[in-house]
Amino acid sequence: MNDMAITALLIVALFALLGSGVWIGLTLAGVAWIGMELFSSRPAGDAMAITIWGAASSWTLTALPLFVWMGEILFRTKLSESMFRGLAPWVNALPGRLLHTNILGSTIFAAVSGSSAATCATIGKMSIPELSKRGYPAEKIVGSLGGASTLGLLIPPSIIMIVYGVAAEVSIARLFVAGVIPGLLLAMLFSGYLMVWALLNPTQVPRSDGELTLKQKLHESRHLIPVVLLIGGVIGSIYTGIATATEAAAVGVVGALLLSGAQGSLNRQTFRDSLLGATRLYCMIALILAGAAFLTLSMGYIGLPRHLAEFVTGLNLSPVVLLIALALFYMLLGCFLDGISMIVLTMGVILPTVTAAGIDLIWFGIFVVIVVEMAQITPPVGFNLFVLQGMTQRDITWIARVCMPYFFLMALALALLWWFPGLATWLPSRM
């Protein structure tokens, strides 16, 4: 059987298992077992056991459950309320006024969360009631929140960057650093869009509650001190080289527990809920990663990645055409899978092709994360759309429509990343 027939058979098996409701991790392991059993001389059983054990016991992956737990702890604190009170006085003078709290709040919370859905839910609990009460248009409240909350994937610490770093065997600390400038660029593009909209539609922006003096603004900013300290502890320890990404995750958990305790929201129940929530989420991710590791091994024995890389290389696609094709591929895949599944399912096949094209893997990691961000707000499986639907009870097509401008702003960011690759590579090169 030739490579195309094998590939087609495995793709059919993949979607048949996914369509029947089998968990994604088990689906990946099942497809890998089929491929190895039918098209390889290596016994599938012992290969699966060894590979899954190796994937589950990776020291690098220790950072993942710790960052997940940190986000769960913060989700149950008064952090969001404090951030709103600290940010509101500074954005009141900008066109669009308090709508910018969605952008700034998501940017800040992304730096202590690592999850797009957690960022969306936490900032949404704060901003949707407050902004609706003040009379801001619902489509701008929900749209700006849906777009900006995707920054949880790009601004470090990012769960999906850890997954990519493990799959691509690149430095997670350098990936974290590489995401800073593109993340801030996206935040500026989102705020710039809101400013242009506000200038063109001044009647839709509610009147200011009144200007505060500089002294009053600084006084209100005291509410930002806890989150700034936590960001400084987590990100600063990585950038200065004091801690690895895994050690910084432990710093983040301790800091989040101290912050929660200082706010009076840490008790037996919240501690238990945060630990169980993190355990459930990480077990799902770990199962996917284990299945993907076995699938990668299976594909290697069959030889599909090498043959695919040779095929794509034989097409003599320029790097820009290859990247456009990969972006379209990931956006299509994002209609059916979540971001982590997209990364672990495809990296074993995609990375040899990307490497052969001479594309820097750190830069490509940022490129992939932005594309996955775009998939977070595209139906039918845009995770942020589901989070927003649960909070607003709006129709998901309406939510997708109001988030669409931010989809195109992310596409613009991809173009800027291609024209100016230093946006992603300059900071890591300084480490």
Q: Write out pLDDT tens, residues 378-414.
A: 766 566 777 788 778 888 889 889 999 999 999 999 9
Q: List Cα–Cα distances, 391 to 127, 129, 142, 145, 148, in angstroms.
A: 11, 10, 10, 12, 16
Percent of the chain with pLDDT over 90: 14
Taking the C-alpha atoms of residue 286 and residue 298, their distance in angstroms, rounded to an integer, is 18
Whether the Cβ atoms of residue 86 and residue 72 lie closer than 8 Å to each other: no
Q: Is pLDDT above 80 for 279?
A: yes
Contact predicate 302/35, CB 8 Å: yes
Stronger pLDDT, 269 or 386, i.e. the higher one? 269
The model's pTM is 0.73
pLDDT, average across residues 122-138: 81
What DSSP string describes 184-217? Answer: HHHHHHHHHHHHHHHHH-GGGSPPPS-PPPHHHH
Q: At what angle do helices 361-375 and 159-168 cross, to 10 degrees?
A: 140
Q: What is the pLDDT of residues 82-106, one digit of tens each?
A: 767 777 777 777 888 888 888 988 8
CA torsion, ordered 247, 265, 284, 331, to nearest 10 deg: -90
For residues 144 and 312, what is the distance between their CA atoms, to the nearest angstrom?
38
Separation CA 361–CA 255 (nearest Å) = 32
Contact of 100 with 188, CB cutoff 8 Å: no
Burial class (CB in 10 A: 0-12, 13-18, 19+), 22: middle
Contact 244, 62 (CB under 8 A): no
Please give the mean pLDDT across all residues of the chain: 81
Calculate the alpha carbon distances from 68 to 74, 250, 276 in Å: 10, 11, 11
Q: Give pLDDT, residue 90.
A: 76
Query: Sorting pLDDT into bands at 50, 70 and 90, what band is 114?
Result: low
Q: What's residue 362's pLDDT?
A: 93
Evaluate the omega torsion of the peptide bond into residue 319 and state whether it is cis, within 30 degrees of 0: no
Of 209-213, 217-221, 412-416, the one with minimum mean pLDDT is: 209-213
pLDDT tens, position by position, 315-331: 777 888 888 888 888 87
Q: Of the ranges 51-55, 106-110, 276-280, 305-309, which is most confident?
A: 276-280
Which range among 134-148, 158-172, 284-298 shows the weakest confidence by mean pLDDT?
284-298
Question: How confident is the model over 360-374, as a mean pLDDT?
Answer: 91
- Closest listed residue to residue 308, CA positions, set 344, 371, 341, 355: 355
Does pLDDT of 311 surpass 70? no
- Determine how many CB atoms are found less than 10 A away from the CB of residue 329: 14
pLDDT tens figures, 26-47:
888 888 888 888 887 777 787 8
Q: Which percentage of the chain shows pLDDT scores above 70? A: 89
Give the pLDDT of residue 373. 84
Q: How many CB atoms lie within 10 A of CB 313?
A: 14
Q: Is 85 exposed, middle or buried (0-12, 13-18, 19+ CB in 10 A)?
A: middle
Tell me how far apart the alpha carbons of residues 300 and 309 are, in angstroms, rounded to a whole number. 12
The predicted-structure confidence for 156-173, as pLDDT tens digits, reads as follows 778 788 889 988 888 888
Q: Is the pLDDT of residue 355 over 90?
A: no
In this predicted structure, the answer to whether residue 306 has a pLDDT above a threshold of 70 is no
Which of the four pLDDT bands, split at 50, 70 and 90, describes residue 262? Answer: confident
